[in-house]
Amino acid sequence: MKNLHSTVLFTILAVQTSFVSAGSNHDHPHTHADGQSHSHKHDYKTPHAGIEKPLWGLDGIEAYVELKLHDDKGDLELWLTNWKEITPYDLPLGTQITVTFTELENKTVELNVRNKAKNEDEDGQVNIRDNKTNYFIFPGDTGVDASFLIGKGFSSDVIVSFEIDGVRYATSSFTLTPHTH
């Protein structure tokens, strides 16, 4: 039984490592909503330059969460990826993803879809398939104050979670630090 557990753990780590190493070390230009443009290099080892962690469900790892905090505006982007196929792990468009900041008196924020037409990410990539998506944001157009997340020095342990059909899915606690420009 011990060898089986070692094999399963090794397989999980190998899959995660191969996915993470396929990340994005790239230089790209973009324009922010306020009209400011610039180019910068990302040295992150994840597809969207965020922090990637396993998402646990009833049967073990269900997917991977990639959470990206932008230091300049305090906004969050989140992508879900199937851990077996490395494809989008889609949820119904009305799903709310909760991020709990355990070091900030368990303060929570809710991530939602940007819109129900295309749900584009910041690169303009459409993220809706069959009325489902793997992409969620905060604060979006909610008007919620995200200023507590602004700054290159921000750091807090967080847990990402949501519930579908009465089943809770969650990450283990991990430290969220910003993607900086």
**Count of domains observed in the chain:** 1
Inside any domain, residue 125: yes
Inside any domain, residue 32: no
Inside any domain, residue 106: yes
The 10s digit of each residue's pLDDT in 64-98 is 999 999 999 899 999 999 988 889 999 999 999 99
Inside any domain, residue 154: yes
The model's pTM: 0.76
Inside any domain, residue 62: yes
Inside any domain, residue 37: no
- Could you tell me the residue range of the domain that residue 17 belongs to? 2-24+45-176
Q: 130 and 90 in contact (C-beta within 8 Å)? A: yes
The 10s digit of each residue's pLDDT in 116-173 is 999 999 889 999 999 999 999 999 999 999 999 999 999 999 999 999 999 999 999 9
Inside any domain, residue 155: yes
Inside any domain, residue 30: no
